[in-house]
Amino acid sequence: MNARSFLINGLIAGLLGGLIAFVVAIGVGEPAIDDAIAVEEAAAAPADTAVHDHDHDETEEGAAHSHSHGDEEGGITRGQQAGPGLATATVLVGAVLGGLVGIASAFAAGRFGRLSPVATTALVTAVGFVAVVLAPWLKYPPNPPATGSGDTIGERTALYFGFLAISILAVVAAIIVARQVLAGRSAWLATAVGGAVYLAVVGVAFAVMAPIDEVPNSFPANTLFEFRVGSLITQAALWLVLGVVLTGLVNRAWNRDVDDLARRDAAAAL
């Protein structure tokens, strides 16, 4: 097993994770997006009752339903957004996340005490999910269409990626400290100290960084909750499939390497 095989296995695992996430998103994410767009259109309706008929004509051509940017939608329909568009996003993101997890697993293998490559890969995937998905989800939960202000998109993007970066750097710091502790002491202590370092860093960022509170009070709470949970389930599905497939591929490659070693030893003993 080398860095290249870890990367390729990661890309494959992530691609499959993205495909499954697409299917899951259709079930648990799309209904809430449709509901949110319906809320937006209902709110917008009184303002353009006069042009409503024109809007309808456009609907026949399939353009008017993609929400929010009024008339400048460029002909992409809701069906395209919820079908091939969504699949493009989940598969591409899944593949690159898989590549990163694969490389991180290649780095971790052989560097976590006596853990096997399969165990370190599972650990990397689990930690990755917490750092990349769960922590940002808790601090800056995703919002459905029609709940954010276009004016603050720059600020919200900076906060989201800033928190994500802090979360990832906190993992790096936790691992560095844990490895220091591990030298000569118990794996339990190293893990506990590492976890504490991560929680401390992310906890401070969580408390200090500005909140985002833009969802209008009139927006239906159930739709918001359904969307946020749907988003979490979609991403959990991506990471779960990524982890299961990648550990499977790493397991197969590792067992092959171990068998080769045994065979070489047996040959050398002759």
Partner 1 sequence: MSQLNPTVSGTAVTPVAIPVRDLAPWALFAALLAVVVTYFVGAEQGAFSLFAGSDVHEWVHDGRHLLGFPCH
Q: How far is the CB of 214 from partner 1 (least distance, A)?
A: 10
Q: Report if residue 89 touches partner 1, rule: CB under 8 A.
A: yes
Is the Cβ–Cβ distance between 254 and 116 less than 8 Å?
A: yes
Question: For residues 48 and 155, which CB has a smaller minimum distance to partner 1 in the complex?
Answer: 155
Q: Report if residue 144 touches partner 1, rule: CB under 8 A.
A: yes
Residues 154-183 that bind partner 1 (CB under 8 A): 154, 156-160
Q: Report if residue 239 touches partner 1, rule: CB under 8 A.
A: no
Is the Cβ–Cβ distance between 103 and 22 less than 8 Å?
A: no
Question: For residues 57 and 257, which CB has a smaller minimum distance to partner 1 in the complex?
Answer: 257
CB atoms within 10 A of CB 36: 22
Q: Report if residue 65 touches partner 1, rule: CB under 8 A.
A: no
The rounded distance, in Å, linking the Cα atoms of 46 and 173 is 54
Q: Could you tell me the two tokens for 88?
A: 């493009």
The rounded distance, in Å, linking the Cα atoms of 116 and 252 is 12
From 59, 88, 180, 186, residue interacting with partner 1 (rule: CB under 8 A): 88
Q: How far is the CB of 252 from partner 1 (least distance, A)?
A: 15
Q: Report if residue 79 touches partner 1, rule: CB under 8 A.
A: no
From 93, 181, 199, 215, residue interacting with partner 1 (rule: CB under 8 A): 93
From 13, 20, 64, 90, residue interacting with partner 1 (rule: CB under 8 A): 90
The rounded distance, in Å, linking the Cα atoms of 81 and 47 is 25
From 111, 252, 256, 264, residue interacting with partner 1 (rule: CB under 8 A): 111
Q: Report if residue 148 touches partner 1, rule: CB under 8 A.
A: yes
Question: For residues 200 and 252, which CB has a smaller minimum distance to partner 1 in the complex?
Answer: 252
Residues 211-230 that bind partner 1 (CB under 8 A): 212, 227, 230
Q: Report if residue 86 touches partner 1, rule: CB under 8 A.
A: yes
